[in-house]
Structure 1
Amino acid sequence: MNREGCYRTRWRWLMLSVFVLLALGGCLLSVMQGVAAITPADVLQILWQPSARTADQIIWNIRLPRTLTGALVGANLALSGAILQAVMRNPLADPHIIGISAGAGLAGIVVLIVWPAYLFWMTPVAFVGAMAAAAVIYLLAWKDGIVPVRIILAGVAVSAFLGAIISGILIFYSDRVHGALLWMVGGLAASSWKDVTAIA
C-alpha cells in the first residue's frame, strides 16, 4: 500500500473513532439529562449495580430504552440509506426521495386512522407498504433492464403520488390528524423495552 493509501486508511479510522466516541458521549448525555439530573458516576453505578431507587427506575425504565431506541432507529436509517446508495450507485438515493418511506407512511396512516383498534399491526403493515412501494418503483423503472437513474425518477414520482394520497386522507379524517402527524414525525417520548426489542 502506498503512502496515500495508508494516509486515507488512517484518516478513516480516525474519523470512525471520533464518531464512535461522539455517539457514546451523546448516549451518555441522553441518559444523564432530564428533569432529574444524574451524574455520570451515578449513571455508571446504576448500570453496573441496579437497585430499587428512584434514579435507577428513571434510568432503566425511561431514559435507557429511549436512548437505545433512538440509537437503533438512527442506525437502521443510516443502513437503509447506505444500502440504497450502494445498490443504485447514486449518492442521492434515499428512502424518502425514492418513495419507500411514503409507502410505509401511507400503510401506517391507513391502520392508524381507519383501524385504530389494530395499532399493534402498524409496524408489519408499514413494512409491507414499503415493500409494495419498492415493487411499484421497480416495475415502473423496468425497461429492458434496470438503470439507477430510472429508479430514482420513478421513485420521486411514486413519492409525490403517495404523499398526495396521505394528504387527502388527512383532510378527510381531520379529527384524527393529530395522532397521524405525531406518528409520521416520530418521537421517543414513550419508548420502552418493547420498542428496543422490536427494532433490534
Structure 2
Amino acid sequence: MENNKKRKNWIFALLTAVLLLSMFISLWLGSAELSVGDIFKGLFSDGDSRISIIIRYVRLPRMLAALLAGVGLSVSGALLQGVTDNGLASPNIIGVNSGAGFMTILTLSIFPGAVFALPFSAFCGAFAATLLILWTANRIGTSKVTIILAGMALTAILNAGISFLSLLDTDVVAAYNAFSIGGLSGVTTRALWIPAVLIFLSLGAALLLSRQISVLCLGDSLASSLGIRVKRLRMICLICSSASAAAVVSFAGLLGFVGLIVPHMARRITGGSMPKVLVSSALCGASIVMLADALGRTLFAPTEIPVGIVMAAIGAPFFLILLFRRRGHA
C-alpha cells in the first residue's frame, strides 16, 4: 500500500515536471531564435524590446492557449469515456465540434466579414448542440448507448448542414477550413479568460464527482444500489464535458484527437481510478498540445503547421492501434 502511494506520487511529480518542461519549450521554440536568457528577460524585464514583444504578446498567450486546450479537451474526453463506458467516446462524437462548425459557417454565410465573431458563434453552436443532446437524452433516457447514438445522429445532421451551406456559398469555405483545422495562431490572453473559467470549473466539478463516476463505471445497477442518482450524474458530467470542449472550440477551432487519445494514455500511466485519470489527463493533455504546437511552429519554420494537423498526424495512428486492440479483445 505504501509502495503504491509512493509510486503514485512519483508519477504525478514526473507528469508535473514534464508539464513545466513543455511550458518552457513552448516559450523557447519558434521561428524567431531565442536563448534561454531571452525567455526570462522577456518575461520579467520592463520595456518594449523585440524580445519582450515576442514573449509576452505572441508566445506566452499561445502557450497558455495550448495548455488550456489540452486540459479542456482531455478532461472532456475522460468524462465522456467514463460515463459512457466507451473508450472511443470523445467531444466530437456527441456533436460539440459539429455544432461549433455549423454555427461558424452559418455566421460566415450571413455576415461574411465577421471573422472576429467566430469564437463566440462557435461557442454558441457547441453549447446549443449540448443542450439538444441533453434534451434528447432527457426524453428518451440517459443510458450509455443513448448518449452516444444521439450524439452521432446530431453530428450527421449538422455535418449535412455544413456541407449544404458550403455548396450555397463557396466563398466561406476557405475561412471555415482554417477554423476546422484547429490552430492557436493569433490568440490573445484577453480571449482566454472566459474559456479558462469554464474549463477549470468543469475540471473542479468533475473532480468532486470523480468517486461517484468511478462507481458508475462498474454499472448502473450497482451505482443505483449505492445511492447514486445515475441519470442526474450523467447529465452533470455531460454538461461539464461539453462546456469544457465548447470553451476550447471558441479559441482553438476544431482541434481533434486530444479528447480521444489522452485519457487512454492517462489510464495506462496511473490506472483506472477516475480521480487519477482526470488529473493525469489534464497534465498529459496540456503537455502534448504545447509540444505539438511547438513542433508545428518549428518543423518547417517560418512556415507554420497548425497544431490541429500535428495532432491529427499523431492521433490517427493511435486511433487505428486502439481499434485493432479492441478487436483483439472482442
- TM-score of the two chains, using structure 1 as the length reference: 0.84
| Equivalent position to 1:136, from 114, 128, 132 | 132
- Residue 65 of structure 2 aligns with which residue? 69
Q: Secondary structure at the match of 1:84?
A: helix
- Is 1:192 the counterpart of 2:174? The answer is no
| Equivalent position to 1:158, from 134, 154, 157 | 154
Higher relative contact order (CA 8 A, sep 6+): 2
Deviations 1:25-56 (A, max 9, x none): 12211211223211122212331223332111
Native 8 Å contact 1:30 1:63 kept in 2: yes
1:124 to 1:35, Cα distance in 2 relative to 1, 3 A: closer
- Residue 163 of structure 2 aligns with which residue? 167
**Distance in 2 between residues matched to 1:122 and 1:52, nearest whole Å:** 30
Amino acid at match of 1:50: D
- Residue 83 of structure 1 aligns with which residue? 79
Structure 1 unaligned spans of 5+: none
**Distance in 2 between residues matched to 1:152 and 1:181, nearest whole Å:** 26
1:175 to 1:102, Cα distance in 2 relative to 1, 3 A: same
Native 8 Å contact 2:57 2:188 kept in 1: yes
Give the superposition deviation at 1:117: 4.1
Native 8 Å contact 1:69 1:199 kept in 2: no
**Distance in 2 between residues matched to 1:68 and 1:178, nearest whole Å:** 27
1:169 to 1:9, Cα distance in 2 relative to 1, 3 A: farther
- Is 1:51 the counterpart of 2:30? The answer is no
Choose 167-176 or 113-122, whichever is displaced more. Answer: 113-122
Percent of paired sites with the same residue: 32
Structure 2 unaligned spans of 5+: 197-330
Give the superposition deviation at 1:89: 4.2
- Residue 109 of structure 1 aligns with which residue? 105
1:120 to 1:52, Cα distance in 2 relative to 1, 3 A: closer
Amino acid at match of 1:152: I
1:14 to 1:114, Cα distance in 2 relative to 1, 3 A: farther
| Equivalent position to 1:20, from 1, 16, 19 | 16
Give the superposition deviation at 1:23: 2.1
Q: CA RMSD in A?
A: 2.3
- Is 1:34 the counterpart of 2:30? The answer is yes
**Distance in 1 between residues matched to 2:36 and 2:12, nearest whole Å:** 24
Native 8 Å contact 1:89 1:148 kept in 2: yes
Give the superposition deviation at 1:124: 3.5
Larger Rg: 1
- TM-score of the two chains, using structure 2 as the length reference: 0.53
- Residue 95 of structure 1 aligns with which residue? 91
1:41 to 1:143, Cα distance in 2 relative to 1, 3 A: same
1:52 to 1:122, Cα distance in 2 relative to 1, 3 A: closer
Choose 41-50 or 60-69, whichever is displaced more. Answer: 41-50
Deviations 1:40-75 (A, max 9, x none): 222123312233321111111111111111111221
Native 8 Å contact 1:106 1:162 kept in 2: yes
**Distance in 1 between residues matched to 2:93 and 2:3, nearest whole Å:** 34
